[in-house]
Structure 1
Amino acid sequence: MVESSHHEKDEALAPAEMLALVRDQQRSVEGQIAAFVPLLLVAWGVAWLFGLGALWLIDGMRPGLTVPPAVAITIAAALFVGAIVLSAVLGARSGRGVRRDAATAFPAIVYGCTWSLGTVAIVAVGLGLLANGMDAALARIFFPTVLVLFAGLMFVLGAAIWRAVPMLLLGVWIVAVAVAAPFFGYPAVLLVLAVGGGLGFLALGALSFRHLSRLRRPLAGGRRG
């Protein structure tokens, strides 16, 4: 009778143990995917802050303290290309071992392609405006502002797809920065975009790191137990 009751007790606990195992695996997958998010946000924050900041230094400082355009453009390009490459590498690594069906993969593919399509379309529209009389002074405001506005709207769209509230907050903030920036004129528009956008990414990166630490605590506790 004692052995039978112990056996029944083990069977009764089995569903709870299975549920705990499923939750532990879910946390592990979420932790794997989220592990790179803070690093990516910091990388983009640095790119925006110092990349756009470098472009501002072309005309934003006092005479004699300005940065040559070639140097500023090289710095900005290196930072943004580096952030893009890092995003691609870490994004691929975070998806290892995670199965995704066609329904899940399709929105991600379309979303990724929309970044490239939208950027090319904005540049093409800007070139068309230049060909029809838009002067260089206005172009210096148009291109960075509209590209940043597009990025903010893409974050909002991404938040809707993946139901990510932090991404929504970042997107709304970036849109607000982009809308306000042109009113400061050139070259201050670049400084507003650099500081506003860069600090937005860095702040969300800090919050993501805190969230990731909280996500890992129950998992680590479960493994110790």
Structure 2
Amino acid sequence: MEARDDELPPLDPAESLRLIAREQATTTRRLTPDPRLLLWPWGLAWLIGFGVFFLRFGPDERVLVDMPDWVPLTVLLGSMIVAGVITGIVGARAARQVSGPSSRQGAMYGFTWSVAFIGMATLFSRISDLLPVPEANLLWAGAMVALTGALHMAGGAIWNDRSLFVLGLSISVVNVAGIIIGAGWHALIVAVLGGGGMLVAGLVSWLRMAR
């Protein structure tokens, strides 16, 4: 009985190495979540949420679009919750295909995000009323972005992912620059450079994975 062509062994060691490389690449693509689904929800959440902040609480307390004071923070938190749900579902689906330490690391890392944001929101909800509105808004926005940047950098260190670490570092630099420039401008800078940067990073990562 003759073997089919796809059952024949590779003709030489070089072909064997190429076959192994192709299988490894296929496995990596299958187990790695689509970076667009991980980064685009957050990029849109920041672009929309911080954009609304800028329109309501502009530089020098200017109101570019009149709306109730509670709307910007509600939109920002709501959009971040939606982004968190989307990325959580994507990450959970990917984790189901992996067992062992890597799966536990991913679960603990995701849990860390939830606990950190809940703790921060609980603390700031107690003290933000003691501050003037511009400073309170800057406290909320700056702290959320700072925490996001730090957690991205931590994730990059855990998984030796240079792209994730660089993204977290970039977010942190943008955040510090916005805080230094001041309330109002911070929201615009984070919306454009932070949110827009994540949209670009998701596209670049997807194109790199496709290659």
TM-score when normalising by structure 1: 0.76
Distance 2:44 2:192 in 1: 10
Unaligned runs of 5+ in 1: 1-9, 215-225
**How is 1:108-127 mapped onto 2 (pairs within 5 angstroms)?**
108-127=106-125
Residue in structure 2 matched with residue 4 of structure 1 by the alignment: none
Residue in structure 1 matched with residue 92 of structure 2 by the alignment: 92
Corresponding letter in the other structure for 1:100: S
Distance 2:105 2:95 in 1: 15
Is the aligned partner of 1:138 residue 2:97?
Answer: no
Residue in structure 1 matched with residue 148 of structure 2 by the alignment: 151
Corresponding letter in the other structure for 1:144: A
Bigger Cα displacement from structure 2, 18-27 vs 169-178 = 18-27
Identity %: 29
**How is 1:25-44 mapped onto 2 (pairs within 5 angstroms)?**
25-44=23-42
Q: CA deviation at 1:156?
A: 0.6
**How is 1:4-83 mapped onto 2 (pairs within 5 angstroms)?**
13=11, 20-60=18-58, 63=63, 65-83=65-83
Q: CA deviation at 1:106?
A: 2.7
Q: Deviations over 1:79-129 (max 9, x none)?
A: 222212211222233344x2321x222322221111112112222333454
Distance 1:12 1:87 in 2: 41
- The 1:114–1:162 alpha-carbon spacing in structure 2 relative to 1, beyond 3 Å, is same
SS class of match (2:67): coil
Corresponding residue to 1:203 among 188, 200, 205? 200
- The 1:12–1:106 alpha-carbon spacing in structure 2 relative to 1, beyond 3 Å, is closer
Quick check: 1:51–1:76 contact (8 Å CA) kept in 2?
yes
Corresponding letter in the other structure for 2:56: I
Corresponding residue to 1:189 among 186, 189, 192? 186
- The 1:117–1:81 alpha-carbon spacing in structure 2 relative to 1, beyond 3 Å, is closer
Distance 2:67 2:146 in 1: 26
TM-score when normalising by structure 2: 0.80
Distance 2:116 2:179 in 1: 20
Q: Once superposed, what is the RMSD of the aligned Cα atoms?
A: 2.8
Q: Hey, which of these two has a bigger chunk of helix by percent? A: 1
Quick check: 1:60–1:66 contact (8 Å CA) kept in 2?
no
Distance 2:49 2:10 in 1: 60
